[in-house]
Amino acid sequence: MSRYRGPRFKRIRRLGTLPGLTSKIPRPSRSTRVYRADHRQEFPTDRKIQYGIRQKEKQKLRFHYGLTERQLLRYVHIAGKSKGSAGQVLLQLLEMRLDNILFRLGMASTIPGARQLVNHRHILVNDRIVDIPSYRCKPGDIITTRDKQRSKTLIQNNIAALSSHKKVPKHLTIDSVHNKGLVNQIIDSKSIGLEINGLIVVEYYSRQI
């Protein structure tokens, strides 16, 4: 399944807030479905409810980080083979992606925007161009922009627009004067700040295999 490129508000109304997908807030939907008194409804079983909960968490994770189905499944496999809680490891792996780090630093307003910066070769990691959005950042990595006016202007505009209302998590440091970001450490579970249960996503895929 390819990466989602459809209406973003449609996903937010269905799944809830997804800051990585869009920073805008949709208007509440006016349409409500009214059933007649004699309308027959099929009430879901406990099994269907549990499956629906796992599927919704999986969709929230996928659309927030902008992943394809295949990419998310690959991260689930890696998390399952790692030590510690598979759900926590899964979220850590996704949080340490370069496109997400740029989003967290405020260098991009959304993760799709951050991915575009990387694809267009505006970003340097340790003074080397990295054009792979899924690049896994490590503690000590220094993230900067290319020494080109267009690259600098793009990042400066993003930082200026977001700095007033966006807080950089503790595992990162941003130098807005020099357009420089630093990865201090691997993110811990308390700093992720997303209402997504990674373990449920792992369970969802384990039941599909």
* 135 falls within a domain: yes
pTM over 0.85: no
State the amino acid at position 116 in one-letter form: Q
Per-residue confidence in pLDDT tens, the chain, 209 aa: 455 555 554 555 555 565 555 555 555 555 445 445 444 455 456 666 777 778 888 888 888 898 898 999 999 999 988 888 898 899 999 999 999 999 999 898 889 899 999 999 999 999 999 999 999 999 999 999 998 888 888 888 888 776 566 788 889 999 988 889 999 999 887 777 677 788 888 888 887 65
Q: How far apart are CA 131 and CA 187, in angstroms?
A: 22
Let me know whether 147 and 85 are in one domain.
Answer: no
Question: What are the distances in angstroms from CA 79 to CA 58, 180, 203?
Answer: 15, 30, 12
CATH number, domain with residue 119: 3.10.290.10
State the amino acid at position 117 in one-letter form: L
CA 196 to chain centre: 11
Instruction: Please give the pLDDT value at position 35.
Output: 43
Residue 174's H or E segment, with its range, is strand 172-175
Instruction: Please give the pLDDT value at position 28.
Output: 54
Residues 6+ apart with CB under 8 A from 187: 92, 95, 96, 169, 171
State the amino acid at position 164 in one-letter form: S
* 79 falls within a domain: yes
Let me know whether 51 and 83 are in one domain.
Answer: yes
Tally of domains in the chain: 2
Structure tokens that stand for 73 in this block: 């499944």
- Residue 26, Ramachandran bin (φ over 0: left; ψ between -120 and 50: alpha; else beta): beta
Let me know whether 164 and 105 are in one domain.
Answer: yes
Let me know whether 76 and 114 are in one domain.
Answer: no
* 41 falls within a domain: no
Instruction: Please give the pLDDT value at position 152.
Output: 86
Instruction: Please give the pLDDT value at position 98.
Output: 97
Q: How far apart are CA 203 and CA 208, in angstroms?
A: 9
Let me know whether 162 and 106 are in one domain.
Answer: yes
* 37 falls within a domain: no
Residue 121 lies in domain = 97-186
Let me know whether 106 and 82 are in one domain.
Answer: no
Instruction: Please give the pLDDT value at position 1.
Output: 45
